[in-house]
Structure 1
């Protein structure tokens, strides 16, 4: 017969979710890019290429890393230069990470907009099958303040993160960090989000 036992609790209780603030002007420029490119916006697109409003009720512009260098996309070079500085600070907090991987790549990323009544409905993880094993970390920047609803909820930590313009979070792309987006009640919620992946 087996029996569950409890280990002595550590005095530390990290959730491995790093958080920083980036320049407000970067957020404004990314929102302007999103609003200008209506023809690129797709509603309910999931990471596996399908459309599921039952899972993700938002409209995205999905981009690949090579798109960063196209004319008109200069803002994304600035954004990812800023994100790289945050990643380096994340490594300072958790130095073991740098000991197992010296280089990470940016995968596909999304600029998304939630309107009132929309949210990422399903609790999910960023690494959930063989097709997503290359994801090591996820990142997200809130591009505007959301006063009513729209928080990101990490279920294992009972942690609600309120969207605030420029707030950027990095977290492990693992089941331990399952999360969802709560309903935006009023206004809109803009984000840019994606993954840092093992090199192919």
Structure 2
């Protein structure tokens, strides 16, 4: 796992942690899992349900109990790497150390976007009572994208282009409203979810 520097013209902190996880083969294994599990694939949904005017993707939702299945070792490896990123994140912002003791990861999503698709709506990860337990979001881009498909954080005018293994952690609050820009070519894959208070 290596630090990844997000270039920005703004001198104020954006509180978005970024790293490149290794080995990159984890990304390939997760993509293969997605493509081999056709029966689990569903239209992408938000906390308000399925609405392709807001989010246009195909998703697989995975629960924590599925991670322990013998065939899902790649997810255990992925979360070990993600935890290394998270430890660095809370070291950078010491206020979080006490808060972090009571947090966990619940269900998470694998997502695929084809050309023309994207998460169209500017949104935040904590927007209702149902999502009020979320503290941070995490996301790893599973492949490189050359045209389109970037993640745009509107308050910071910050655009992040997908790069294989690039992993982000950011606050779930309104301060980090964002959208996925339209994918112009290729296929975009991500793994994403939340670090939250135990329910």
Question: Shared fold by TM > 0.5?
Answer: yes
List aligned pairs for 1:40-55, cutoff 5 A: 40-48=40-48, 50-55=49-54
Shift of 1:99: 2.5
Q: Please identify, of 92-101 and 126-135, the stretch whose mean Cα deviation from structure 2 is larger.
A: 92-101
Query: For 2:94 and 2:19, how far apart are their aligned partners in 1?
Result: 18
Q: CA 1:44–1:159 in 2, change beyond 3 Å: closer, same or farther?
A: same
Tell me what 1:60 maps to. 59
Q: TM-score, normalised by structure 2?
A: 0.92
CA contact (8 A) 1:44 1:55 kept: no
List aligned pairs for 1:20-31, cutoff 5 A: 20-23=19-22, 24-31=24-31
Question: Following TM superposition, where does structure 1 have runs of at least 4 consecutive aligned residues deviating by more than 4 angstroms?
Answer: none
Tell me what 1:7 maps to. none
Shift of 1:66: 1.2
Shift of 1:135: 0.4
1:33 and 2:3 matched: no
SS of the residue corresponding to residue 71 of structure 2 reads coil
List aligned pairs for 1:132-147, cutoff 5 A: 132-147=131-146
Aligned pairs, number? 189
Tell me what 2:112 maps to. 113
Query: For 2:51 and 2:184, how far apart are their aligned partners in 1?
Result: 21
Query: For 2:47 and 2:78, how far apart are their aligned partners in 1?
Result: 22
Q: TM-score, normalised by structure 1?
A: 0.91
List aligned pairs for 1:72-91, cutoff 5 A: 72-91=71-90
Tell me what 1:184 maps to. 183
List aligned pairs for 1:187-198, cutoff 5 A: 187-198=186-197
SS of the residue corresponding to residue 149 of structure 1 reads coil
Query: For 2:133 and 2:153, how far apart are their aligned partners in 1?
Result: 21
1:84-118 per-position Cα deviation (integer Å, ceiling 9, x unaligned): 01000001110101123313110210000000000
Tell me what 2:147 maps to. 148
SS of the residue corresponding to residue 137 of structure 1 reads strand
Q: CA 1:110–1:122 in 2, change beyond 3 Å: closer, same or farther?
A: same
SS of the residue corresponding to residue 130 of structure 2 reads helix
CA contact (8 A) 1:136 1:195 kept: yes
- Structure label with greater radius of gyration: 1
